[in-house]
A and B are shown apart, each in its own frame.
Chain A
């Protein structure tokens, strides 16, 4: 799809296993983070967000962990399904409404 990067990191997992996608962010002043999912031919879709005053947030089958000490964000997907196959982006927000997106990770779910 349109979102493929030439050197996009790829994570392959077996259907039913848990997936962990990692992201390093750059701005220590960023106070809000979002994980987006982008399927082929579509725009990014919101998955889950977290504020900097939290270190963990859970949604349906997804959990986001934030480690501000090392500026690291992770997305955990439980019981990965074929429909989870997509490119996942983390985005950080610093000043104003300006979000900076990471390069993305392609998740491939194997049958």
Chain B
């Protein structure tokens, strides 16, 4: 298995531009998570999906951020418009969970991350 795939690996953009980060979870996993990592705040959960449905988006900083999961094998995180303070490494992770049933104790598999720099 190729693991969680993220693209692009690096993104440099100018303030005000739209940024789209992409993630392909591990096949068969039905939970997907987006995290942001910065020097000052560490690793923060932005949003997670179960069976393509957003479950908790309380970590999304503001309306400029949006995430979608149109199918089980693809998710996007979009920032529009981007700002310099959005510069960070964005990680996608996936796991297998039994949504709607008793919680299962499963590890999250992280992708390599996308380093975003907003100038």
Interfacial residues, chain A to chain B (CB-CB below 8 A): 2-6, 32, 34, 41-46, 49, 51, 89, 96-104
Contact = CB atoms under 8 A, between A and B. Distances in A.
Interface in B27-85: 31, 33, 37, 39-40, 42-45, 48, 50, 55-56
Contacts of A46: 107-109
B48 A97 contact: yes
Given A97-B95, A97-B97, A101-B43, A2 B103 contact: no
Q: Majority SS of interface residues in chain A?
A: loop
Interface centre among B33, B37, B40, B48, by most chain A C-beta atoms within 10 angstroms, is B37
Nearest to A32: B105
Given A96-B56, A97-B31, A5 B42 contact: yes
